Amino acid sequence: MRKIVIIGGVAGGATAAARLRRLDESAQIIMLERGENVSYANCGLPYYLGGAITDRSRLFVMTPQLFQNNLSVDVRTRHEAISIDPLSKIVHVRNLVDGSEYSETYDSLILSPGAEPIRPRIDGLNDPRVFTVRSVPDIDRIKEFVDSRRPRRAVVVGGGFIGLEMAENLHARGVTPILVEAQDQVMTGLDFEMAAVLHQHMVDQKLELFLSETVVAVAQAADRLKVVLKSGKEIPCDLVVLAIGVKPESSLAKAAGITLDERDYIVVNDKMQTSAPSVYAVGDAVCIHSPLLGTSTVVPLAGPANKQARIVADQIVLGEKAPRYQGSIATAIAKMLDMTVACTGLSEKACARAGLAYSSVTVHPSHHAGYYPEAKPFSLKVVFDPNTGRIWGAQAAGFDGVDKRIDVLAAMIGMNAHVRNLEEFEHAYAPPYSSAKDAINYAGFIAGNVMNGLTRSAYWHQVDSFIKDGSVLLDVRTAEEFALGHIEGAINISNIELRKRLHEVPRGKNLVVYCGVGIRGYLAERILRQNGFDDVANLSGGFKTYEMAMGLKSYHASAVFTEGSGMPEQLAMRSHDVITVDACGLQCPGPIMQLKSAMDKAMPGSRLLVKATDGGFVKDAKAWCNLTGNLLVGMEQNAGIYTAIIEKAAPALVPMNTPMQNSMVVNGNEATLIVFSNDLDRALASFVIANGAAATGKKVTMFFTFWGLSVIRKTENISVKKDFMGRMFDLMLPRSVHKLALSKMNFGGVGALMMKKRMQAKSVEQLEIMMQSALKSGVKMIACLMSMDIMGVAREELIDGVEIGGVATYLEAASKANVNLFI
């Protein structure tokens, strides 16, 4: 009869014991556990604090009694192994209840001692209000503190999954968590821009985040605590949870002469054997093989611990027939206030550290068919080797469908899959579950296009250098989307208009095309490439990824309630007339377009209750309200659905809080501009304003009169019969925008030339391009009939698209306008 002693009775130890019994009915199995409990759900501890798990007994998967009764395992809780003698195959044990000591022989010994929370050497950590969490008694203490002391604020130190889960569950108990993380991001298995999705979500949910900050002390502050950061900032709080990582409990193994690595993890082979004969080790205390890196790694997670434990039992009982451990690719997932973040394999950072060739694709699809209710966008990034196509890793963040995609990708990575396998990955599809082309397929399509040279990816972190080296950033979204936010310095030609406006795209320069999420950017890239633009790249993940990473979305949804607290539905009901707009499943600019169209039909004072799932809607709705003068009454997020209440402003109440509105808002939604001057700079100003106003949805009328007629004259000389005065004016009126002079410092035309060069250098569109854009966006250009008559300008001399009108035409437009400028 073989005798097996197991040290540690939770994840690895308990699994090994159960498997051993199933394989060998006659074995003597002794499980030593220092603590009071065995086989409990340490992963469930934060949720017991938060209240998702209400029944404490549910934390215990097996009790010592059940182990004894059901599996005939000799479980000895409160028994600590204090030394191992591998040569004699003896474990020395202390009974922690009575202090007695004894020895136990073994045929095989399994070490599953786990890892303990790191406690840095800083002042103040001995305060009883500073907690760590590893075991049931730990969570009991924290829960008791929260129940009895009703703390208001907690500092959670560490942004790994335990820190995040503790923050979430403190939040669930009404304690405001403040998260402090030494790195510039939480969940370091993710690349920065993917972690940034979660950063934004946490901030939106009123969680304070201190990134790139370390705690240097915890001090008493009256009857509270204060956490002192290296930067000098001090955070008052009522309790502190330390979750800065774990260190292996390997001192027992070390004292027994068992080989450890440089970080004190127990070294094991693929049979999970240590350097000592008949001694095996599993779980958080061991370093294991990384099949991706080909080196050793540590993955202190429950999944690997359980799988290793099963293999050890098999090794002990089945010997050579038993499977060997293939290593871990580190697949992890965490939930944070409805949002899920997950990763598997290597990030770009990890590839860079390891010197591996890598490329990546990022997509932002919906978790199921966009037309099926409550489709929620999520972000998926796949990292791969651009030379071989091997998939290195994947990361995802969102409200739904994240776990499914990461698990599929983890399985594929485990089987050394190629990005081509993603293209053909065949999934179970019906609208409530996914789309006919799933996010995983899309990632594969793009990666495949990268590999065969159909597209070249540019990345958010390269944008600064693109701007510096004079590359042209081409935003191919609509003018509306562009107006709501874009990369500084980008020019805007929507992909729909691109074919017609190719002449506006600078040649001979590196072009970086971008759209909202990458699809239209790719379409534009293909148009450009097939029209002789060779140096084109598409910004991976589009403006959404760039914006997430750059933290432009600093707007906090929770901060906009203007009517006290209340659910958006209740806020909406305070108005007489409520219009519901369901924009769920639509990606930008879909929600804003729906909002605009519903608002156009609404009466002043009525309220719109807009539901959207696109995260960009939070910022866009606010920007749109600012631009249009409507009132954003409230915004909230619940399980990935953003609900905004927007009130159509009564004309007299329209706020004047943006630069554009200061000069423009009187009433109505029209703007009129009288262009009297034929100075180049004044003409420029008039078209900048006209296009800007048109982009915000205004109906714009430009009335060209007297000298302003020059601006709309054709370049070519049109032969028209003129009288003497007409011929005189013909000489005085510059022919077309190309001949306009600056109002100041023209220097015989040199100034105007310099201005044009400067505009080109700064990627400002030339006047003629602005004029074309204005016509395309519906700006009405009217030539003043009376001025034409006086100055002898004929209809044929004016550019196409210009209408002829009298003062009455102008006055009619002006009377409806809320802007009337004389330039």
Binds ligand FAD by CB under 6 A, chosen from 45, 202, 276, 394: 45
Helix (H) or strand (E) holding 548, with range, is helix 542-550
Give the burial class of 144: count Cβ atoms within 10 A of its Cβ; 0-12 exposed, 13-18 middle, 19 or more buried: exposed
Dihedral (CA of 521, 527, 530, 535) sign:
negative
- 265/642 with CB nearer ligand FAD: 265
Q: In 346-415, where do the E strands start and end? A: 359-363, 378-384, 391-398
- Give the number of residues in contact with ligand FAD, rule: CB under 6 A: 32
Return the number of the residue (113 or 124) whose C-beta is nearest ligand FAD: 113
Q: Which residues pair with 108 in a beta bridge?
A: 4
At closest approach, how far in Å is the CB of 279 from ligand FAD?
A: 14
Stretch that binds ligand FAD, among 31-39, 96-104, 410-418, 583-591 (CB under 6 A): 31-39
Distances (CA, A) of 234 to 178, 210, 217, 220, 240: 12, 11, 10, 12, 13
CB of 69 to ligand FAD, least distance (A): 21
Is residue 680 part of the contact set for ligand FAD (CB under 6 A)? no
Largest CA distance in the chain: 123
Please tell me which residue in 43, 237, 351, 784 is annotated as part of the active site: 43
Q: Sign of the CA dihedral 664, 667, 670, 676?
A: negative
Under rule CB under 6 A, which residues in 212-251 are in contact with ligand FAD? 249
Q: Under rule CB under 6 A, which residues in 559-578 are in contact with ligand FAD? A: none
Name the residue nearer to ligand FAD (CB basis): 404 or 713.
404
Q: Rule CB under 6 A: is residue 252 a binding residue for ligand FAD?
A: yes
Cα distance between residue 472 and residue 494, in whole Å: 15
**Span of 192-200, 225-233, 282-290, 560-568 interacting with ligand FAD by CB under 6 A:** 282-290
Identity of the residue, 81 or 228, whose beta carbon is nearer to ligand FAD in the bound complex: 81
Question: Counting contacts by CB under 6 A, is residue 283 touching ligand FAD?
Answer: yes
The token duo for 423 is 């293209």
CB 295 to ligand FAD: min, Å: 20
Closest C-alpha among 482, 616, 485, 480 to residue 557: 616
Nearer to ligand FAD, 91 or 479 (CB): 91
**Alpha helical stretches, state H, 126-179:** 136-149, 161-172
- Selected from 4, 17, 59, 81, the binder of ligand FAD by CB under 6 A is 81
Distances (CA, A) of 292 to 330, 366, 787: 10, 30, 76
- 113 contacts ligand FAD (rule: CB under 6 A): yes
What is the C-alpha separation between 815 and 581, in angstroms, rounded?
32
Least separation in angstroms between residue 130's CB and ligand FAD is 16
Closest distance to ligand FAD from the beta carbon of 80 (Å): 4
Which of 19, 21, 34, 713 is close enough to bind ligand FAD by CB under 6 A? 34
Among 21, 46, 360, 463, binds ligand FAD (CB under 6 A): 46
Cβ neighbours of residue 18 closer than 8 Å, sequence gap 6 or more: 62, 71, 73
Q: Which is nearer to ligand FAD, 6 or 498 (CB)?
A: 6
Going by C-alpha positions, the residue among 356, 158, 172, 363 that lies closest to residue 242 is: 158
Cα gap 283→782, rounded to integer Å = 78
The full length of the chain comes to: 823
Under rule CB under 6 A, residue 12 binds ligand FAD: yes
Compute and round to an integer the Cα radius of gyration of the chain.
Answer: 34
Give yes or no: 43 in active site: yes
Phi, psi of 648, rounded to the nearest 5 degrees: -75, 120
Question: With binding defined as CB under 6 A, does residue 32 bind ligand FAD?
Answer: yes
- DSSP readout, 327-339? -----EEEEETTE
The distance of closest approach from Cβ of residue 411 to ligand FAD in the complex, given in angstroms and rounded to an integer, is 17
Per DSSP bridges, beta strands 457-458 and 536-539 are parallel
Amino acid identity at 716 = E
Contacts with ligand FAD in 126-165 (CB under 6 A)? 133-134, 162
Residue from 10, 84, 350, 608 touching ligand FAD (CB under 6 A): that is 10
Our CB check for ligand FAD shows the closer of 157 and 632 to be 157
Q: Does 310 bind ligand FAD (CB under 6 A)?
A: no
User: Which of residues 184 and 403 has its CB atom nearest to ligand FAD in the complex?
Assistant: 403
Cα–Cα dist 391/408, whole Å: 12
Q: Which of 43, 229, 502, 685 binds ligand FAD (CB under 6 A)?
A: 43
Q: How far is the CB of 118 from ligand FAD (least distance, A)?
A: 12
Q: Indicate the residue type of 725.
A: M
Nearer to ligand FAD, 64 or 448 (CB): 64
- Whether omega for the bond prior to residue 589 falls within 30 degrees of 0, making it cis, is yes
Only one of the segments 178-186, 280-288, 666-674, 765-773 lies at the binding site for ligand FAD (rule: CB under 6 A); that segment is 280-288
Q: Using CB under 6 A, which of the segments 28-36, 289-297, 744-752, 768-776 binds ligand FAD?
A: 28-36
Binding site for ligand FAD (CB under 6 A): 7-8, 10-13, 32-35, 42-43, 45-46, 80-81, 112-114, 133-134, 162, 249, 252, 283-285, 300-303, 305
Catalytic residue ranges: 43
